[in-house]
Amino acid sequence: MKSAYNIILAPLLTEKGTIDQEKNNVYLFKVAEDVNKHQIKSAIEELFKVRVLEVRTSVVSSKLRRYGRWEGRKPGYKKAYVKLRKGDKIPVFEGA
């Protein structure tokens, strides 16, 4: 089994994610592509000591990028929307 640090790769800070965080207490994370919702839930609860109510996942596909005449690909990733119990906060997103 993977450790929690190998499941949760990074927090995702976007404008849409910040609005969702303030209104619905939903946080965005970049996660490993081979994990499921149960593993994500247990990793978040272990790392941040919060209660997770719901996990939704989405796979972002890779995109073609051009740098002058050179073509490359921006890698795809999997992201997780994690809804927390009312009153719970994750300090990484609060700037503390």
Please tell me the predicted confidence (pLDDT) of residue 95: 63
Write the CATH number for 61. Answer: 3.30.70.330
Spacing of C-alpha 22 from chain mean position: 16
Domain annotation covers residue 91:
no
Q: Which domain holds residue 14?
A: 4-84
**Which tens digits make up the pLDDT trace of 9-54?**
999 999 999 999 999 999 999 999 999 999 999 999 999 999 999 9
Q: How many domains, in total, are found in the chain? A: 1
Please tell me the predicted confidence (pLDDT) of residue 68: 92
Domain annotation covers residue 51:
yes
* % of the chain surpassing 70 pLDDT: 98
pLDDT(96) > 60: no
Q: What is the pTM for the complete model shown?
A: 0.87
Q: Please state the φ and ψ torsions of residue 36, each to the nearest 5 degrees.
A: -105, 180
Query: Per this entry, what is the length of the chain?
Result: 96
What integer is the mean pLDDT of 86-92? 89
Helices (H), 1-96: 4-7, 15-24, 37-48, 91-94
Domain annotation covers residue 77:
yes
